[in-house]
Structure 1
């Protein structure tokens, strides 16, 4: 029988008194102690971890979208393309999380649902920030956060600056002039489809060699929204599978509210132009 393998024999560091360890670097003590359950039910841990990890992925998505927006505003398209591709893959991860949550049955969820009180994913301020960053802006959605002045200020600051799509349109304007009403619109309001924008993007798609960077930008935006739509759809089907058509804990219509969100288009012109090409 051979001796047990000792990694230190090949130089592995085994002593960490006064040294940076894996747990120290990741602050695992705080992260792994954040799963506070409110009941003694088995599936509540799954529910909490799924939502906490989703919030961590959303934090990274915000980091990447903000950087992509800055890069596009500076005309640095190549780094922005990499960041947007990463955001799409982040939402692929978020999509996979629903597969795990769907292993929870209606009976499993009902056992601890009352412990949620009025809390709901509807109140996720990071999700709201992502929607605002992408252009789906609705000031009414500030109200669930009125008890947290710092969060409201952060979201209002976001409403005061161009969305990712607004920045993309300014880049488009550099090659194909857009109307002043598009370039100088009220940034705090949601984007509404514009025919001049649709015509400009159609021109890009009809001559991709001439407008290659704009063409690639458009496809990166579509790729991201594709994953984002799948995330919303998986959210709907998961909720319907677990609670049916009950009203949500936060007071929304539950599935009916989520289905309305499926109709929201972030970059409408980029989807509609495909019919006319």
Structure 2
């Protein structure tokens, strides 16, 4: 006989009730894809970037919560949040595998439809960098046509970053590290912070929570760097050394971004151990 889930109590009628699609607002999400060409692969391009933006939204949600938890001294919940951010970056990395199924000739069919739009203009990506501590104020300019976005980035640049909050936690634990004078600049290597981390890594049993916090940050940056690398190789595979649709130098610009380090102290100390 044909199986009927209602025989075991499953609800089959949702008139006047909230269904799965209602809860997730799927009608609006699934109607948000608007290809501008007849090219088959434009749908792949749109969905890949839309889903990436959704994952970035969750990453920001977790990073903000982790920063708050660390500031309050609640490191255990922060570990879970930072682990989730690293897994989100892993998910974003996997998305490149799907996009790489598109060939240069397939991308060429709809590239002109993009106009000057480019992932370079993703404000959520920029916000992830700003929250982590890589704050380049010049990167706000592509968002000045949207004052609410530019203002959000400016506000973020005026508050302690995730890493600033971590360093404050080290100070609260007795390490002598001066606060940064300029919050609106990228983190630069700090000998005092590097010395503190070296002490923590040399005696992890004594400083276990701070040691684990350091490794959570390194995990996040490790996956973040892989995302950047995958971005470079995917772009090179599809458009070679052409300029980006947003006017950047394309692969050359992305390669330059590979040299950006979010938490330099945590990477430099490894040479000293």
In 2, the alpha carbon distance for the partners of 1:8 and 1:178 equals: 65
Q: Does 1:208 align with 2:215?
A: no
Q: CA deviation at 1:174?
A: 1.9
Residue 176 of structure 1 contacts residue 200 of structure 1 at CA under 8 Å; is this kept in 2?
A: no
Among candidates 6, 13, 16, match of residue 15 of structure 1? 13
Give the whole-Å Cα distance in 2 for the aligned partners of 1:47 and 1:122: 15
Is 1:192 matched with 2:188? yes
| CA root-mean-square deviation | 0.8
| Distance in 2 of aligned mates of 1:135 and 1:117 | 31
Task: Name the residue aligned to 1:26.
Answer: 24
Between the aligned partners of 1:126 and 1:141, the Cα distance in structure 2 is 12
Match of residue 249 from structure 1: 245
Q: CA deviation at 1:52?
A: 0.1
The equivalent residue for 1:108 is 106
In structure 2, the partner of 1:4 is 2
Q: Report the count of equivalent residues.
A: 273
Residue deviations 1:12-35 (CA, integer Å, cap 9, x gap) = 100000001000000000000000
The aligned runs of 1:106-255 (5 Å cut-off) are 106-180=104-178, 183-255=179-251
1:172, CA displacement in angstroms?
1.0
Q: Specify which of 223, 236, 261 is matched with residue 257 of structure 2.
A: 261
Conserved 8 A contact 1:135-1:164: yes
Q: State the Cα distance separating 1:184 from its structure 2 match.
A: 4.3
**Structure 2 counterparts to residues 32-71 of structure 1, below 5 A:** 32-71=30-69
TM-score by length of 1: 0.97
Distance in structure 1 (CA, Å) of the matches to 2:271 and 2:184: 30
Q: Which runs of 5+ in 1 are unaligned?
A: none
How far apart, in 2, do the equivalents of 1:176 and 1:138 lie? Answer: 31
Contact 1:75 1:171 in 2 (8 A): yes
Whole-Å separation in 1 of the counterparts to 2:160 and 2:269? 23
**Contact between 1:91 and 1:228, CA under 8 Å: does it hold in 2?**
yes
Are residues 179 and 10 of structure 1, via their aligned partners in 2, closer, same or farther at CA, if it must alter by over 3 Å?
A: closer
State how far apart, in whole Å, the 2-side matches of 1:133 and 1:185 are: 17
C-alpha spacing 1:85/1:63, structure 2 compared with 1 (3 Å) = same
SS where residue 31 of structure 1 aligns?
helix
